[in-house]
């Protein structure tokens, strides 16, 4: 089969490209109707995809728009998987937490003494 006419199951391609940890997770997402191929909602996990197809699906809090560049032969390491597609997704929106003017603890371990002082001052300003 030539490179241009290669086809692969949608769930298998999503797994090869490392968007999902297991093939069954990819298949479940497809069966739920949460994946679009070229703008059409697909519910069959055995849908064949080819290079040039555009996939749209939600991953975490972000919507991913992916153009398939190649069909993988195996589920290789991440750098190899990244060569299978081009990411057309819009940049992620800044979360409301990051946009707030008030400093807050980011949850990365214990806050330092300086961080606690800044946080206490910002809370005191809100109470006034």
The model's pLDDT over 40-84, given as tens digits with 9 standing for 90+, comes to 999 999 999 999 999 999 988 889 999 999 998 899 999 999 999
Q: In whole angstroms, what is the distance from residue 18 CA to residue 99 CA?
A: 31
- Same domain, yes or no: 46 and 84: yes
- pLDDT greater than 80 at residue 127: no
Question: Span 16-27, mean pLDDT?
Answer: 94
- Same domain, yes or no: 86 and 109: no
- pLDDT greater than 80 at residue 13: yes
- Same domain, yes or no: 74 and 105: no
Domain count, the chain: 2
- pLDDT greater than 90 at residue 91: no
- Same domain, yes or no: 21 and 70: yes
Q: Give the pLDDT of residue 15.
A: 94
Q: Give the pLDDT of residue 109.
A: 78
- Same domain, yes or no: 87 and 108: no
Residues 6 or more apart from 114 whose CB is under 8 A from it? Answer: none
Q: 33: domain range?
A: 3-92
Quick one: DSSP state of residue 82? Answer: G
- Same domain, yes or no: 31 and 80: yes
* pLDDT band at residue 89 using 50, 70 and 90 as cut-offs: confident
- Same domain, yes or no: 62 and 101: no
- Same domain, yes or no: 76 and 122: no
Which of helix, strand or coil describes residue 122?
Answer: helix
* 70 burial via Cβ count (<10 Å: 0-12, 13-18, 19+): middle
């Amino acid at each position: 089969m030539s490179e241009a006419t290669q086809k692969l199951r949608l769930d298998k391609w999503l797994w090869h490209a490392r968007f999902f940890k297991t093939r069954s997770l990819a298949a479940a997402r497809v069966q739920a109707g949460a994946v679009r191929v070229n703008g059409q909602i697909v519910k069959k996990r055995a849908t064949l995809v080819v290079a040039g197809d555009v996939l749209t699906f939600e991953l975490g809090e972000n919507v991913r728009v992916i153009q398939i560049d190649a069909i993988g032969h195996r589920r290789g390491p991440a750098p190899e998987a990244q060569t299978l597609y081009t990411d057309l997704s819009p940049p992620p929106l800044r979360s409301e937490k990051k946009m707030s003017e008030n400093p807050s603890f980011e949850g990365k371990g214990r806050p330092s003494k300086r961080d606690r002082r800044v946080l206490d001052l910002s809370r005191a300003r809100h109470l006034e």
